[in-house]
Amino acid sequence: MNPNSVPLEYVNNLMYELEKAFWDERGKGARFRMTKVGYQYFSDKVSPLLQSTEVEDILNKVSGVLKNEGIAADVSYSREERLLKVSVKGCIHRPVEERMRAKGVEPFTCVPANLIVLAIEEKLDIPVELAEIKVEEGTCQLLLVMFEKRPVLE
């Protein structure tokens, strides 16, 4: 083992235990406290790459980071007006979600989704919400909702 790396199994076990403890404490309310998980990673790896204010360009940058960093094998998406459907294959954190599902808890947080939300919110200044996470055949199907631009009070 490289002295500068931590085994993925160790990281995922810690993530699972933290998620489970938070779920046990907050139930479904935990979902609304997890939206910023991954913020430091976003700031370091994604934000410096964001130049465009086009949603497709933003998604391509986040997808590129997820794939290049080995976090996900593939990321694809489609957009229908305010709805953004994202498919994440081969995510290194999927075992955490599978363990949560085995305990009867539907997935309520997703780091790749958080990176997308953070990117869109930073570049477009519009709120985005992760509405749904479904795990189907080893692929996470995410549904994000992009809202109207925030009003500016003067």
Per-10-residue mean pLDDT of the chain, 154 residues long, equals: 79 93 90 89 96 96 97 96 96 93 90 96 94 91 92 79
Domain 8-146 falls in which CATH fold?
Muramoyl-pentapeptide Carboxypeptidase; domain 2 (3.30.1380)
At residue 32, the pLDDT reads 84
Q: What is the pLDDT of residue 152?
A: 78
| Strands 83-89, 74-80: pairing kind | antiparallel
- pLDDT of 53: 94
CA 86 from centroid of its chain's CA atoms: 10
pLDDT given at position 33: 86
SS3 2: coil
Taking residue 119's Cβ as centre, other Cβ atoms within 10 Å add up to 23
pTM: 0.90
Q: Can you read off the two tokens belonging to residue 153?
A: 């009070």
